[in-house]
């Protein structure tokens, strides 16, 4: 399966919601966004993340609309206005993101605040199959560009970009540990000793924050659009972006990076030959960013624990009947919590 973020079937979730958007076309025209009605919305991404719709107009133009989820979630990290402003700000700093077209805080237009941006052509490498289908000769280039763009994000002057007020800068990992532990505690319905032990171990081992930067929060191949040459055309899904420790992004990238021959867990395109190894990812990041990151084992363990927290939340929703799908899908997420927490504990004890 994919790294534990929820993707849902478009037909199941779109329902009649997007078909009842008669005000969208006129609103876009009033905001200076050229469209030819009728607009046809198609859900591309759903779940607990912000919902992403492709909008096709009568003239063949395509846009993308992002709005908060339809269902309640544990914590409202779905401020589309915040995400819009971050993406617009980093675009001005040369970070590849879609062109941001308009932000609508009025929930009456589509049922929630939303923003519209350009549709970007390209490929998202999210799964083993995606990695296998990607030309072997372009895998190294895609890996290097992915790391290079991460280093560029971390080099953004947040004050010059107007992002200095995004939030607290210090104690990022401690704040994230508290946040995700709270969400885990609220969603979990079972006792998992390895999760409790891992949380205590992480809290006791939080390293001093040596760097402060703009942190994407979910940076991986599954959240970037790349072209045929392997260049990153757009970085997507900025809803978790914050000011904090950039090594958390690096650890997350490494935790979602599988090397050839490693056992399958969640889906990762990098299990195919030709992609950089984790060690090469770190070396590339150090060379491009100018930062000597040292041992990143803690940050990988933190990322694995966070993935486990997310997986437990998905498992709990399957178990409660709040999510559609086969029971076997829920069991996979439930088992993944054990696998991830055990792997993180093993890595912590070995480092």
For residue 63, the tally of other CB atoms under 10 A from its CB is: 23
Q: What are phi and psi of 282, to 5 degrees?
A: -65, -45
Which has the closest alpha carbon to 231: 337, 170, 144?
144
Output the tens digit of pLDDT for each of the chain's 351 residues.
Answer: 445 444 444 433 444 555 669 999 999 999 999 999 999 999 987 555 788 999 999 999 999 999 987 765 444 457 999 999 999 999 999 999 999 999 999 999 999 999 999 999 999 999 999 999 999 999 999 999 999 999 999 999 999 999 999 989 999 999 999 999 999 999 888 999 999 999 999 999 999 999 999 999 999 999 999 999 999 999 999 999 999 999 999 999 999 999 998 877 678 999 999 999 999 999 999 999 999 999 999 999 999 999 999 999 888 878 776 565 666 677 888 999 999 999 999 999 887
The domains of the chain are located at 10-118, 128-350
Kindly give the pairing relationship between strand 40-45 and strand 51-56. Answer: antiparallel
Q: Which two tokens stand for residue 117?
A: 């941006």
Decide whether 10-118 matches 128-350 in CATH topology: no
Domain 128-350 is classified in which CATH homologous superfamily?
Aminoglycoside phosphotransferase (APH), C-terminal lobe (3.90.1200.10)
CB 60 within 8 A of CB 36: no
d(CA 350, CA 277): 19
Domain 10-118 is of which CATH architecture?
A: 2-Layer Sandwich (3.30)
């Amino acid at each position: 399966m994919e790294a534990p973020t929820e993707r849902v079937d478009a037909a199941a979730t779109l329902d009649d919601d997007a078909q009842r958007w008669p005000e969208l076309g006129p609103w876009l025209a009033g905001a200076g966004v050229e469209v030819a009605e009728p607009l046809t919305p198609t859900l591309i991404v759903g779940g607990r993340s912000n919902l992403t719709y492709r909008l096709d107009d009568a003239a063949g133009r395509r846009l993308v609309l992002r709005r908060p989820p339809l269902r309640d979630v544990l914590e409202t990290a779905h401020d589309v206005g915040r995400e819009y402003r971050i993406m617009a700000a980093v675009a001005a700093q040369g970070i590849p993101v879609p062109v941001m077209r308009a932000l609508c805080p009025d929930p009456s237009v589509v049922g929630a605040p939303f923003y519209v941006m350009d549709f970007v052509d390209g490929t998202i490498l999210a799964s083993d199959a995606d990695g296998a289908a990607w030309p072997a000769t372009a895998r190294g280039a895609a890996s290097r560009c992915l790391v290079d763009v991460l280093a560029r994000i971390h080099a953004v002057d947040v004050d010059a970009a107007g992002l200095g007020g995004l939030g607290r800068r210090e104690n990022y990992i401690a704040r994230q540990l508290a946040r995700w532990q709270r969400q885990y505690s609220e969603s979990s319905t079972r006792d998992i000793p390895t999760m409790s032990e891992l949380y205590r171990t992480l809290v006791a081992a939080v390293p001093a924050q040596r760097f402060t930067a703009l942190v994407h929060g979910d940076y991986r191949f599954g959240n970037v659009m790349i072209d045929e040459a392997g260049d990153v055309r757009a970085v997507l899904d900025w809803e978790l972006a914050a000011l904090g420790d950039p090594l958390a992004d690096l650890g997350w990238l490494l935790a979602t990076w599988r090397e050839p021959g490693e056992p399958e867990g969640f889906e990762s395109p990098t299990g195919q030959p030709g992609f950089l190894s984790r060690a090469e990812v770190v070396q590339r990041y150090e060379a491009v960013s100018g930062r000597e990151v040292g041992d990143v084992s803690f940050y990988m363990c933190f990322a694995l624990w966070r993935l486990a927290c997310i997986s437990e939340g998905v498992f709990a929703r399957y178990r409660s009947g709040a999510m559609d799908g086969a029971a076997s899908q829920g069991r996979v997420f439930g088992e993944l919590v054990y696998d991830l927490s055990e792997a993180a504990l093993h890595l912590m004890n070995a480092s």
